[in-house]
Amino acid sequence: MIYSGGCFCGKIRYQFSDGEYLVANCHCTICRKTSAAPFVTWVIMPRERFAFTAGEPGILESSSKGRRLFCRDCGTPLVFASNERNHKIDVTTCSLDEPEAWPPTEDAYTDTRLAWLTHSGT
Ligand SMILES: [Zn+2]
Ligand SMILES: [Zn+2]
């Protein structure tokens, strides 16, 4: 099974192969600001499972912890590559063609979760 996704404008496309991947909602302030959304849901996988198949993403060094890849044309956030977990790559679930296939099971950085945000599963 191969899953695919890409940015809003379609210039950047990617694929990854199936596996037992953690899916987590991140409530950190950097995810929130760079997405302009209350939180970001990530599928976290070994880097060798993931490949861009079209386009060249822009790179944002969002902190000393890692960098974010996004579409320079339409702005869609696509990937977080951590310097600390450098064998893993985090992919934005909602850039997938079928985000329903990857429901989140965990929440991270809940200390900075927005108070008005009810649990994402409800
Ligand atoms: Zn785009
Ligand atoms: Zn985050």
Residue 15 Cα to ligand 2 middle (Å): 22
In a domain, 4, yes or no: no
Residues lining ligand 1 (ion), CB within 5 A?
Answer: 7, 9, 11, 71, 73-74
Rounded-to-integer distance, Cα 103 and Cα 85, Å: 22
Q: Cite the beta strand spans of the chain per DSSP E.
A: 2-6, 13-17, 22-26, 40-46, 50-54, 58-63, 66-70, 77-82, 88-92, 106-108
In a domain, 3, yes or no: no
For position 98, which CATH number holds? 3.90.1590.10
Q: Write the pLDDT tens digit of every residue in 18-70.
A: 999 999 999 999 999 999 999 999 999 999 999 999 999 999 999 999 999 99
Residue 4 has pLDDT above 70, yes or no: yes
Residue 110 has pLDDT above 90, yes or no: yes
In a domain, 101, yes or no: yes
Confidence band, pLDDT 50/70/90 cuts, at residue 120? low
| Full domain range(s) for residue 64 | 21-112
Rounded-to-integer distance, Cα 122 and Cα 109, Å: 19
**What domain count does the chain have?**
1
Residue 121 has pLDDT above 80, yes or no: no
Q: Which ligand is nearest to the CA of 108?
A: 2
Q: Which ligand is nearest to the CA of 70?
A: 1
Residue 106 Cα to ligand 2 middle (Å): 13
